[in-house]
Amino acid sequence: MFTYKILSLVMCLLFQRPQVPVLCYHNMHASGGHPDNVLYISPAQFSNQMQWLNKNGYHSITPDELYAYLHNGATLPAKAVMISFDDTHEEHYTVAAPILKRYGFRGVFFIMTVSIGKPHYMTAAQIKSLSDSGHIIACHTWDHPNLSKVSTYDTQKQLVHPKQLLEKITGKTVSYLGYPFGGWNEQVVKDVKAAGFKAAFQLDRHSFSDDPLYSIRRIMISGSWSGEQLEEKMKTAFH
Ligand SMILES: [Zn+2]
């Protein structure tokens, strides 16, 4: 009974912790983003958003810090934000990383391993360099299937092997997964847990009440947003 009460209290705390904004970026092209397209941002727009966050006192956090906050009740710095990038794009290394460095931010890079070393995608050396400079490398499966929609998938190929490959490249444990297309269901969560991930990130669906750590929400960011608009979305997206 006592254990049950403690457990209830922990679950209660977990659910009541305010959602920390997790930003999600994809392509970075000079043509930039439009209000209705959250898949593109120009280097200048990205730089402006990072500059604004820095100037307004935001602190980037890592998935480990977010996990400690959600799971263990750890405190976070004021105005915490997680800044993430999907799909292994080369410009995440050539454009985003120098801008993050300028403003003292750390990024989280969700890597689909099939594209490593292909034209316009990051090489293994670039991924290692990001990791060595304090950024976090996370897994985004092998070839980006929507795990909640395909009837079957090979868990070794999509979850276990990509995790191992990224650990070999970085020399660090890879503990977090980003679901391609944000797609997850109960079976996917079971598989992701069994593959050894501590938590997983989706997009904007409701969290999985049985296991919110495996459905942490992220906000896709439009390059057209000003700093003020970005902050407004960060405050209101999931409330
Ligand atoms: Zn993706």
Cα(115) to centroid of ligand 1, in Å? 11
223 near 70, Cβ under 8 Å? no
Cα(24) to centroid of ligand 1, in Å? 10
Q: Of 110, 175, 113, 104, which is closest to residue 134 (Cα–Cα)?
A: 104
In this structure, the strands spanning 27-28 and 22-25 are unpaired
pLDDT in tens, 111-149: 999 999 999 999 999 999 999 999 999 999 999 999 999
* Cα distance between the two ends of the chain: 33
Residue in the structure block whose two tokens are 């989706």: 202
Q: What is the CATH number of domain 20-236?
A: 3.20.20.370
Domain ranges of the chain: 20-236
pLDDT of residue 4: 53
Cα(83) to centroid of ligand 1, in Å? 15
Cα(44) to centroid of ligand 1, in Å? 22
Cα(231) to centroid of ligand 1, in Å? 23
**Residues lower than pLDDT 50 in the chain:** 1, 12
pLDDT of residue 59: 97
172 near 128, Cβ under 8 Å? no
What is the C-alpha to C-alpha distance for residues 114 and 162, in angstroms, rounded to an integer? 9
pLDDT of residue 32: 65
Cα(180) to centroid of ligand 1, in Å? 5
pLDDT of residue 78: 92
Cα(182) to centroid of ligand 1, in Å? 8
